[in-house]
Amino acid sequence: MLELLSTIMVFLFGVLVMGWDALVLVLGFVSSVLLHLHVDMPRLEGLLVGVALAWVMTRRDRHPLLKVLSAPLKLVIDILDLAWDQVVDVIGDVWSVASGWVLGSLKWAWGKVVGAWDWQLGLLSGLRDKLKKSE
């Protein structure tokens, strides 16, 4: 009976060791693949991370664990969305102010040119009228 228990214990210990070895083997394989992706193929790594994050974000309402995992990503996306809105507003405001200044200065300069033109035409018209009278 003691030998049977010893054999069962050896079997269970062997199964545990084999499971641990399989886990170490799988983790070694995964880490070497991830290292290879990170070092040699960063664009593919970025694509895979993006696809994985998109998958998590689309499935976040279906499972509470995915909701918890995607909460930081959702926070980052919301912050980026707010920052993008602010940048678009600032660029629009800067554009409207700059174009207003430029168009205002061009209208002012055009007004000065038209004023000088009208003044010269007035002088020439006055000179013409004087010359007509003197004839």
Tens of pLDDT along 95-111? Answer: 999 999 999 999 999 99
Residue whose structure tokens are 């664009």:
43
Using alpha carbons, select from 124, 106, 102 the residue that is nearest to residue 114: 106
User: Domain ranges in the chain?
Assistant: 67-134
User: ∠34-40-44 over CA atoms, to 5°?
Assistant: 70
pLDDT at 69 over 90: no
Contact 13, 6 (CB under 8 A): no
Question: What percent of the chain shows pLDDT beyond 90?
Answer: 70
Cβ-contact 56, 73 below 8 angstroms:
yes
Q: Would you place residue 112 in the very low, low, confident or very high pLDDT band (cuts 50, 70, 90)? A: very high
Q: Is 56 exposed, middle or buried (0-12, 13-18, 19+ CB in 10 A)?
A: middle
